[in-house]
C-alpha cells in the first residue's frame, strides 16, 4: 500500500500522514524534510543560493538519510541529525529556491522512490509532487487543502506568535512560498488528476485522520 499525501503548507500533511501511518502499520516519509535538509547543507557550506547553477553543481554532495518510523521521524545529513535546524527561519525562507532546481529534484526524487520501494508493508509519503511525479502509481492519493487564513493561524500558533502582526507576517511568508512552489517549472505543487481532495479548513485533525484512513481502507478493500 503506497499512499501519497500532497498539499500546501499548513494543510496538515505531516500530522495526518504520521498518524495515518501509525494507525495502519505503514512506514512514513516527510519529503519536505529532505528538501529542507539539502537546503540546510547548502546554507551551511556557503553555496550561493541566488545562483541555480551553484546549487545544481552541489546537489550531489550531501548524503541525506531519512528514517521511516512514523513514531520517530529522523533525518541526517552527512551523519548529522538536522531535525531541529531544518525547521528554522533561515531554511524555511531558502527552501523554495533550492527545491526549484531540477538537479536537486532529480536527486531527492530518486531517493524517495528507493525508500518507497524498500518500505516493507507500505508507506505514506507526504509532499508537494508525490501524486503527480514521485509515485504516480500510488494506491491512494490525497490532496489536502485549507484556507490561507486557517493555514497561517495553524503555523503561527506553532511558532507561539498569536498576535495580529506575527499572524500577518506568517501568512505573507506562507503565500510567497506557496506561489514559488506552485509556479516552478519542475514538478510544481499540484493535485494529481486522480487524487482525492480533502478541505481541512473546518475539520479537526482527528476528523482529517479518520477521513484519510477511511479513504485508504476503501482502496485497500478493492
Ligand X SMILES: Nc1ncnc2c1ncn2[C@@H]1O[C@H](COP(=O)(O)OP(=O)(O)O)[C@@H](O)[C@H]1O
Ligand Y SMILES: Nc1ccn([C@H]2C[C@H](O)[C@@H](COP(=O)(O)OP(=O)(O)O)O2)c(=O)n1
- Range 152-178 burial, b when 16+ CB lie within 10 A, else e: bbbbbeeeeeeeeeebeebbebbeebb
Stretch that binds ligand Y, among 31-39, 55-63, 161-169, 209-217 (CB under 6 A): 31-39
Residue 109 Cβ, how far from ligand Y at the closest point, in Å? Answer: 8
Most distant CA pair in the chain, distance: 51
Measuring CA to CA, how many Å separate 22 from each of 2, 33, 87, 138, 201? 14, 19, 23, 18, 23
Task: With CB under 6 A as the rule, give the number of residues binding ligand X.
Answer: 15
CA-to-CA distance for 23 and 44, rounded, in angstroms?
37
Stretch that binds ligand Y, among 30-38, 56-64, 76-84, 194-202 (CB under 6 A): 30-38
Q: Kindly state whether residue 128 participates in binding ligand Y, applying the rule CB under 6 A.
A: yes
Site string for ligand Y, 93-122 (x = CB under 6 A): --xx--x-----------------------
What residues contact 108, with CB distance under 8 A and at least 6 apart?
A: 31, 34, 35, 38, 64, 99
Residue 16 beta carbon to ligand X: minimum distance, rounded to whole angstroms: 6
* Inter-residue contact 91 to 40 (CB < 8 Å): yes
For residues 148 to 187, the per-residue mask of contacts with ligand X, x marking binding by CB under 6 A and - elsewhere, is ------x---x-----------------------------
Question: Does the footprint of ligand Y cover residue 143 (CB under 6 A)?
Answer: no
Separation between Cα atoms, residue 42 and residue 91, nearest integer Å: 10
Q: Is 26 in the site for ligand X (CB under 6 A)?
A: no
Residues that bind ligand Y (CB under 6 A): 9, 31-33, 35-36, 95-96, 99, 127-129, 177, 181
Amino acid at each position: 500500500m503506497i499512499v501519497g499525501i500532497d498539499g500546501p503548507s499548513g494543510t496538515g500533511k505531516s500530522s495526518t500522514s504520521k498518524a495515518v501511518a501509525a494507525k495502519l502499520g505503514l512506514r512514513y516519509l516527510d519529503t519536505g524534510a529532505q528538501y529542507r535538509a539539502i537546503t540546510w547543507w547548502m546554507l551551511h557550506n556557503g553555496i550561493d543560493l541566488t545562483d541555480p547553477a551553484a546549487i545544481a553543481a552541489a546537489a550531489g554532495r550531501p548524503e541525506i538519510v531519512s528514517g521511516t518510523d512514523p513514531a520517530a521521524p529522523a533525518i541526517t545529513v552527512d551523519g548529522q541529525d538536522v531535525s531541529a535546524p531544518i525547521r528554522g527561519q533561515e531554511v524555511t525562507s531558502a527552501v523554495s529556491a533550492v527545491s526549484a532546481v531540477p538537479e536537486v529534484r532529480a536527486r531527492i526524487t530518486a531517493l524517495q522512490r528507493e525508500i518507497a520501494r524498500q518500505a516493507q508493508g507500505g508507506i505514506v509519503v507526504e509532499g508537494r509532487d508525490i501524486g503527480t511525479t514521485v509515485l504516480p502509481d500510488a494506491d491512494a492519493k490525497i490532496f489536502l487543502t485549507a484556507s490561507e487564513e486557517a493555514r497561517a493561524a495553524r503555523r503561527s500558533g506553532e511558532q507561539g506568535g498569536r498576535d495580529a502582526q506575527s499572524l500577518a507576517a506568517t501568512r505573507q511568508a506562507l503565500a510567497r512560498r506557496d506561489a514559488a512552489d506552485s509556479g516552478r517549472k519542475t514538478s510544481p505543487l499540484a493535485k494529481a488528476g486522480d487524487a482525492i481532495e480533502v478541505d481541512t479548513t473546518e475539520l479537526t485533525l482527528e476528523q482529517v485522520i479518520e477521513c484519510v484512513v477511511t479513504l485508504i481502507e476503501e482502496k485497500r478493500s478493492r
